[in-house]
Amino acid sequence: MEGPDALPETHEAANAPTKGPGEDERDTTTLTAELTALASLHASNAAALCAEADRKLELLLKECTQLDLECEKILEQAQEQEKPPEEPPQQQQEVQEQAPKQATANNSSNGKGSEPAPFVPKLTRVTPKPARFLPKRK
């Protein structure tokens, strides 16, 4: 059978040295020292990146709070501008007297009070000419 013969060959191939010619063999202490140095370098780089990210986040947070304050100020100004200026009492009474007269005129025309009539587009249906679908006369 070919199965048992193939197994020892693969086993021998697994035990073969993986280093090619010309590569220097390093002992485990050298590799451990290099790995430790790389780990400490990685840790210091990670700490520096975290610190930089924290600084940027703090700056962004400060900027966001400033923008929030500015937005609140602008919103307050807009609300103050939207409020109608208060008129003297005599003018308010005159406006109230004129308003019912206008409202009665509008109520009879559209039945919705002082609201303007909504825009309703006029639709026209286009019907095709039946002559297009009939066979042509010869």
Global confidence as pTM: 0.37
Rounded to whole angstroms, how far apart are CA atoms 20 and 109? 99
Domain boundaries, the chain: 36-102
| Residue located via tokens 């100020």 | 73
pLDDT per residue rounded down to tens, the chain (138 residues): 455 555 445 444 445 455 554 445 678 999 999 999 999 999 999 999 999 999 999 999 999 999 999 999 999 999 888 876 665 556 666 666 666 555 555 444 545 567 788 877 777 777 766 766 677 777
110 contact partners, CB below 8 Å, separation of at least 6: 117
Quick one: pLDDT at residue 112? 52
Q: How many CB atoms lie within 10 A of CB 15?
A: 7
